[in-house]
A and B are shown apart, each in its own frame.
Chain A
Amino acid sequence: MQATLNITNLSKSFDQGKVKALEDVTFHVNPGDICAVVGESGSGKTTLIRLIAGLEELDSGEIHIENHLVASIKKNVAPEKRDVGMVFQEYALFPHLSVLDNVVYGIKKSKSKKDTALETLDLVGLKGYEKRYPHELSGGQQQRVALARALAPKPSVLILDEPFSNLDAMMRYRLRNEVFNIIKKTGVTAIFVTHDTQDALAVADEILILQNGKLVQKDEASALYKKPQSIYVASLFGNTVQLNKGLQTAFKCPLKEDCCHAIRNESITVNQDCDYVSEAEILKRTFLGTHSQLLLKLDNGEHLTVVTSEPVLGNTIKIGFNSKDVLAFDE
């Protein structure tokens, strides 16, 4: 299958080479797939999508869209000619244009510009809002107009830059599913940037992890969660405890020395039979609603914080984990 988006050895730096934003990034996205780009602030996520959209110029590497070279050191196709749609973080709706005019804006010359726009507005559930102006809409509605505007020209690749970061938790959850259902329905290849791993796990076919401008892992959601290739990736997807020498001694679990080991917090159980167990004294309990956080002092004096939803009685408990849950990474 021919990939819709192909990126090879992409590098970009700013401030005359002093700040490296992306280094030697290579990946591809298959037709109709939704790919999430995850990373901490400053990891190069936004630079990556701006390069794909043509809003920045690369320093080295190549970008192909639908098998056409759109960017290299010798060539740079202007953003308006790349056949890419984009939903911006702040939506970037044109404040002086109505909802309909915003959506019509990008549709290439055709007799049925207005019809196409109305169909797309219908698709995102905004039928009847055509004459309104952006400031007359709620955050969620603005988000949907931005999506309709990006989808209306039928781009080869749809880019979404932190699409839900401006919404509250309830709205975010609802809209996330709606938006990605619409995207799946249109069959467009999408790439979206997020710092929220829940968004990525929920909707992405593949997740791409960036760290300091480098691509550190690209995998399907479940594979990425179960087999992270570094402690950085593991930490992005939940609380992770690195098993240092002290913890290994406390749990009596001699692990290979040439590896770095970690255990997810949810894999640590309280008062249950496990492969590796340790007695622990509870130093502090913090009530967090559905669960509690415990600060523990282990047999050998090591400290450990665990989160549990089990009721815990007394001052001393037994905690442990199974060998199959131990994550191992190259050092």
Chain B
Amino acid sequence: MNLKNRFFKLKRDLNRWSLLLLLILGIVSVPILTIGFKLFGGPGESWNHIVDYVLFDYLKNSFLLALFCSVIVILFGVTTAWLVSRFEFPFRKQLEWLLILPLSVPAYIMAYAYAGVFGYSGLFSKLMEFFGNGDFRIEVMNIYGLSLILSISLFPYVYVSSRTFFLAQATNLLEASRMLGISEFKSFFKLIFPLARPAILAGLVLVLMEVLNDYGAASYYGVSTFTTGIFRSWFSLGEPETAIYLSAILLLIVFGLILFEKWQRRHLNFTAAKTSKQNYNSRIKPKKANQVWFSVICFVPVFLGFVLPVIQLLIWLKQTFASVWTVEFISVTLESFGIAFLTASITVLFALLLLFFTKWNKIELLKSSSKLGVLGYAIPGIIIAIGVLIPSLYLDKWLIEKNITSKLILNATLIALVYAYVVRFLAVAYQPLESSSLKIDRSLSDSSKVLGKGNFKTFFKIEFPLIRVGMLSAFILVFIDILKELPLTLIMKPYDVNTLAVKAFEYASDEMVSSAALPSLLIILTALIPAIFLNKLLLKNASNS
């Protein structure tokens, strides 16, 4: 097509939806663009000191954390997923959804609970006393303890993605392998594990992003990572420029991870095409002794990731309830839920706009770049916070200079906090919406249009009624994520507003970790909803496929 025709085509296809899509993409890319733009300003005074003395530690600790966590989550996640998908053993059905529960315990709360379990006069030391070895202690507040805690809190990501694969994709190749005389055990390693690699990797990348995003657990255990380093540079050293440089390195690592995952998936795409559905109605029934072992193996992560921390929190709750349950606490709870509700609604709205503006826009290039809008979830919260804080400071300064306002209307206000949340969690809302909209046959909206209804009428009359469930799941998932969110909230929240996550963090930082039990348990209790919801959705999808 010649240049003239290209121009005519562009002019013809450019509609108001393309412009609105551009606007949304612009709004959500501000934080990343800010980081990129500010890099040109050069690093702060302490940058050389950081490079010489601490950068290596940040890199080493973040790398070790990622490495240890990868090994542990694969071990826990893949083993349990394989056992519950392939074998029949006592409590299998219950364990199948119990294994998702650790997702409801945020890593920082897990970290507080374990510090209590293994602390002086904690459950572990009492147990040792009972066995007459009261002096024996295990130190968990180091990088190894942190790795274990992050892993048992995050392994369900790998468990869920692997189990989905095992339930829907594991294949008659397995039967062929058994017919060729290869044992179940060998077939797993020779056949199923390589086939499941893309699914495992998808779960693992989510885990690694969460590990890199973690601030609460790492700072409580005193392990220096990139995220704690960025915090320190900004708040202790007072050098936003240095924080931006560290953020840029962290961003590069995250984008590297995403590209690696995509590359791996492309490389292994043949697996999806060549595997077929397997009916797991007839699970293998192993010997009695093995059945008990399988139950124990599956129960260990549930115990470590949910039962034990919750027991510790309940013990603390009994000790501190009276002092923590105050009018102020109730108001924090209401504020926390209110912010989560407001932001989840706005985020779902934004996700809907992004999804449908992309659909209604006719310019191919814009369609393919619309995914940029949901990169926020991959970017650590602290980076988004910095990326929002800087432009809002500039904007406020400009507004005051121009006498449009006399006080800060963006920085350290709810507007900036909600905006940062929307950027961070847009992907969480977008994915269930996108998948429920993809389930609607394209010909339904096409036929509505051919029958004389425009985009809006088609949306309200046909698409909206069919994606309501997707919208509800998007809302619940974002709601819970906001309730649990810590690093971004710590930086962005207005001084007169508090959330349950921040309250728990403050108690823990002020050496009152037992008082963190009430806000922590409230978060866990609320987060249980999507954990159970997710399991039902998974089972439904598996049975549909």
Contacts and interface: CB of A to CB of B under 8 A. Distances in A.
B397 interface: no
A289 interface: no
B465 A55 contact: no
Contact of A85 (B5, B12, B450): B450
A53 B12 contact: no
Given A57-B362, A89-B443, A90-B441, A73 B9 contact: yes
A84 B450 CA distance: 6
Contacts of B364: 16
Contacts, number: 80
Given A73-B8, A153-B452, A79 B446 contact: yes
A16 B449 CA distance: 25
Contacts of B454: 78, 80
Scoring A54, A88, A96, A149 by chain B CB atoms within 10 A of each residue's CB, the highest score goes to A88
B275 interface: no
Contact of A73 (B12, B362, B447): B12
B1 interface: yes
Scoring A79, A84, A106 by chain B CB atoms within 10 A of each residue's CB, the highest score goes to A79
Given A76-B12, A88-B443, A89-B443, A105 B451 contact: yes
Contacts of B444: 92, 94
Interface in B454-475: 454, 461-462, 465-466
B267 interface: no
Contact of B9 (A54, A59, A84, A108): A59
Interface in A1-32: 16-17
A53 B9 CA distance: 18
A191 interface: no
B540 to A, nearest CB: 17
Nearest to B452: A80
A132 B443 CA distance: 21
Interface residues of B, number: 25
B453 to A, nearest CB: 6
Q: Is the interface of B mostly helix, strand, loop or mixed?
A: helix
B11 interface: yes
B318 to A, nearest CB: 50
Nearest to B447: A92
A22 to B, nearest CB: 14
Contacts of A88: 443, 446-447
B443 A105 contact: no
A79 B12 contact: no
Scoring B13, B450, B461, B465 by chain A CB atoms within 10 A of each residue's CB, the highest score goes to B450
B451 A153 contact: yes
Given A59-B1, A80-B453, A96 B465 contact: yes
Contacts of B8: 73-74
Given A59-B9, A76-B13, A88-B446, A106 B451 contact: yes
Nearest to A79: B449
A198 to B, nearest CB: 25
Contacts of B12: 57, 73-76
Contacts of A106: 450-453
A56 to B, nearest CB: 10
A311 B5 CA distance: 64
B449 A55 contact: yes
B450 A96 contact: no
Interface string B343-358: 0000000000000000
B466 A96 contact: yes
A108 B457 CA distance: 14
A314 interface: no
A212 interface: no
Contact of A74 (B11, B447, B452): B11
Interface in B1-58: 1, 5, 8-9, 11-13
Interface in A118-166: 149-150, 153
B159 to A, nearest CB: 34
A89 B441 CA distance: 11
A17 B5 CA distance: 13
Given A79-B449, A90-B443, A153-B452, 16 more contacts: A17-B1, A55-B449, A55-B450, A57-B362, A59-B5, A73-B9, A74-B8, A76-B13, A79-B450, A84-B450, A86-B446, A89-B443, A90-B441, A92-B441, A96-B465, A106-B453
Q: What are the 7 tightest A-B residue pairs by CB atom distance, in nearest-first order?
A: A106-B451, A92-B443, A79-B449, A88-B443, A92-B447, A86-B450, A73-B8
13 contacts: A55-B446, A55-B449, A60-B5, A73-B8, A80-B451, A81-B452, A86-B446, A90-B441, A94-B444, A94-B448, A94-B461, A95-B466, A153-B451
